[in-house]
Structure 1
Amino acid sequence: MNVFALARKSIESTYTGHCSIVEYKEVKDPVSKITKHEEVIVLENQPCRLSYDNISTTKSTESAHEVSQTIKLFIASEVEIKAGSKLVINQNGTTKAYECSGEPAIYPTHQEINLKLFKGWA
């Protein structure tokens, strides 16, 4: 087993969540022939892990201390997540919907994607 395979196995051993990737696509009804947009699950139950980091910032406003949260997804490097996709992630008994907020950092062993809470389809 090569060093990347061992590293990947080690990283994947930390995956405690599962991700479903949902895209908003045009779907044509076979009976009525009407095309409409709807959510389509393109991948289900992909092992993953969410990581959270709270960042404190100080602004010169009335509230002197503001905290924001950075959410990062760790997932297999071969998984393709298109821009604008919704990611439904279940980890530690909690299920939430997220969207990508940046380009993935792809490594030989995994990829890392910054996320934000899903607020709706654009």
Structure 2
Amino acid sequence: MVNVRRKAIERLYKGTCTIKEFQPVKDPITHITSKKEVPVLENQPCKLSFEKQTSATNTNAPAIIAQSTKLFLAPEIVIKAGSKIIVSQNGKTIEYSRSGEAAVYMDHQEIALELFKGYA
């Protein structure tokens, strides 16, 4: 049974995500196995959170601005390292990869993300 706190957190989810993994797939006709991108979960409710981090220095160089991205979703979802996570929220769809271990709580989990640059 989903508790009240979890329902409150999930009402904040404004996006959906699709999880894809690069897996071996056997062609039914040629029987040749090759690696392909396979969706393992689609349209999972989620929320992206952004935090800007600015590092100002006392030099003549411009300030360094970085952004950290965190994904919030249900705690029972398992996302393997190296997975591609495609998030649609606020009219934008962006591809990410999982960059950190999930922080799993009773009502949700938080995963640090990086922009997807390709499979390892």
TM value normalised by structure 2: 0.94
Alpha-carbon RMSD: 1.5
Instruction: For 1:57, give the aligned amino acid.
Output: S
Report how far residue 57 of structure 1 moved: 1.3
Runs of 4+ in 1 over 3 A off after TM superposition: 58-62
Report how far residue 116 of structure 1 moved: 0.6
Structure 2 residue runs without a partner (length 5+):
none
The 5 A counterparts of 1:50-89 are: 50-58=48-56, 63-89=61-87
Matched residues, percent identical? 50
The corresponding residue for 1:41 is 39
The corresponding residue for 2:12 is 14
Query: Hey, what's the Cα distance between the residues in 1 that align with 2:26 and 2:88?
Result: 30
Q: Secondary structure of the equivalent of 2:3?
A: helix
Query: Hey, what's the Cα distance between the residues in 2 that align with 1:59 and 1:115?
Result: 26
Write out per-residue CA displacement over residues 29-74 of structure 1, whole angstroms, 9 at most, x where no aligned residue.
Answer: 0110111111000000000000000001135765241000000000
Query: Hey, what's the Cα distance between the residues in 1 that align with 2:84 and 2:60?
Result: 35
The corresponding residue for 2:90 is 92
